[in-house]
Amino acid sequence: MKSLAIVGLGYVGLPLSLQFSRSGCRVLGLDIDSKKTDAINAGRSYIKHITPAAVAEQRAAGRLEASVDFSRAKEVEAIILCVPTPLNAFREPDLSYVLNTGRALAPHLSKGVLVVLESTTYPGTTDGELRAVLEEGSGLKAGVDFHLAFSPEREDPGNPDSKVASIPKVVGGLTPACLDKALALYGIAIQKLVPVSSCRVAEATKLLENIFRSVNIALVNELKVVYAAMGIDIWEVIEAAKTKPFGYMPFYPGPGLGGHCIPIDPFYLTWKAREFGQHTRFIELAGEINTAMPDYVVKIAFEALNNDGKAVKNARVLILGLAYKANVDDDRESPSYKLIEKFEALGAKVAYHDPFVPVIPLTREHAIYAGRKSITEITPDYDLIVLSTGHEAYKEFDFTAYPMPVIDTRNCLRRRPAKYHKA
């Protein structure tokens, strides 16, 4: 297999495109955002942890190009979909990106082409909704005229040890022949493949991975609140517990969940489970605990300001970190947005600082903040500072002379002020 198209050139699609290109494939990146396609064709990167040189190298080799023209899908032997799968306003799955992409590609599918979905979703999406729009729009039959498979993405932004080629790839096909075709594709670029019996098993695998994290993070978030009431530092407890060499895996609390997976994916299963008369109580409870964490941070902030003789209303509040994770520029579903929203609703005047997100981009969930800029310097000119993201730059920042309360939600700061609080 020498040519493929990757649809969706974000945090999943661009690294995958580069890995296939480095492995000798001719890769056509497709996206509706011309800024992304133009950047790739100019040999530039728009994601912090991907260097411009990595893109330029593959462009110069003639193995990577990008386009907004989906009709070009007819030129390739395989198509991989890496598009968003968010939740709607009612916290229900929004498959519009997957299905609209399928409709755009369907008229241009060639016989024998392989279509793989990588976007996280509930079991039954690939062989159900996606299959239906591809067959309807192409006149071809999945498993007969074209191949169909699901292989969940496993990206870990900000982790220098996480490489696309070395992350084991779970693959499930509609038919045994579809599976073989998908394994042959991924075998070009990925070192270890994990074949499973169906698309639904592969879809369920990704949900299990992220539900596992969501539930365990909820557990330590709940224990954080309980132990704090007892005067016990959850972070010290975790450090002690993780010395056990068996039966324990450390998870860490925070101000809420962020990223494109953990705050969203569990709800794909809770929604689908209702169709089968099942109630996912454990998953939903974890979601309730995690989504309540910004309120807990605001409560600690309220108490800190009150002890300092100040009210929340008209208080000058600085949020440190807008990205959802340390040392990345990915702000998707970041709990920092919730903190800004809640503080401003209480009448505070909020600014933010983030060296990786200098300007807030336009997002579906927080469009009102688009264009707001990070302050350039962390000064003492605030009534309260809240560290929301544990960027490396904050760890050694000297807060010792800062007079205001500083709330650390990540146990990040080493040079702490007198009025230091954990939340």
Please tell me if the domain spanning 3-198 has the same topology as the one spanning 292-422.
yes
AA identity, residue 206: K
AA identity, residue 147: H
Residue-level pLDDT, tens digit, the chain, 423 residues: 689 999 999 999 999 999 999 999 999 999 999 999 999 999 999 998 899 999 999 999 999 999 999 999 999 999 999 999 998 888 899 999 999 999 999 999 999 999 999 999 999 999 999 999 999 999 999 999 999 999 999 988 777 767 899 999 999 999 999 999 999 999 999 999 999 999 999 999 999 999 999 999 999 999 999 999 999 999 999 999 999 999 999 999 999 988 778 888 899 999 999 999 999 999 999 999 999 999 999 999 999 999 999 999 999 999 999 999 999 999 989 999 999 999 999 999 999 999 999 999 988 778 899 999 999 999 999 999 999 999 999 999 999 999 999 999 999 999 999 999 999
Residues 336 and 394: their CA atoms lie apart, in Å, by 15
The two structure tokens encoding residue 309: 């003789």
Catalytic annotation, pick one of 25, 82, 178, 261? 261
- Predicted confidence at residue 1, as pLDDT, reads 64
Nearest to 41 by CA among 24, 54, 55, 61: 55
pLDDT, one tens digit per residue, over 250-273 is 999 999 988 778 888 899 999 999
Nearest to 338 by CA among 330, 326, 350, 353: 350
The answer to whether 224 and 253 are in contact (CB under 8 A) is yes
Span 3-198: which CATH code?
3.40.50.720
Q: For residue 410, what is the DSSP state?
A: S
Is there a catalytic annotation at residue 261?
yes
- Grouping H, G, I as helix, E, B as strand and the rest as coil, residue 303 is helix
In terms of phi and psi (left: phi > 0; alpha: psi -120 to 50; beta: otherwise), the region of 180 is: alpha
Dihedrals φ, ψ of 347, to 5°?
95, 5
- Predicted confidence at residue 261, as pLDDT, reads 80
- pTM of structure: 0.93
User: Is the Cα torsion angle 30, 36, 39, 44 positive or negative in sign?
Assistant: negative
CA dist list (Å): 56 to 21, 75, 190? 12, 23, 22
The answer to whether 154 and 123 are in contact (CB under 8 A) is no
Number of neighbours of residue 343 by Cβ within 10 angstroms: 23
Domain boundaries, the chain: 3-198, 292-422
Residues 48 and 2: their CA atoms lie apart, in Å, by 29
Residues 315 and 258: their CA atoms lie apart, in Å, by 26
Residues 270 and 91: their CA atoms lie apart, in Å, by 10
Span 292-422: which CATH code?
3.40.50.720
Residues 354 and 175: their CA atoms lie apart, in Å, by 47
Rounded to 10 deg, the angle between the 234-241 and 199-229 helix axes is 120
Number of neighbours of residue 244 by Cβ within 10 angstroms: 10
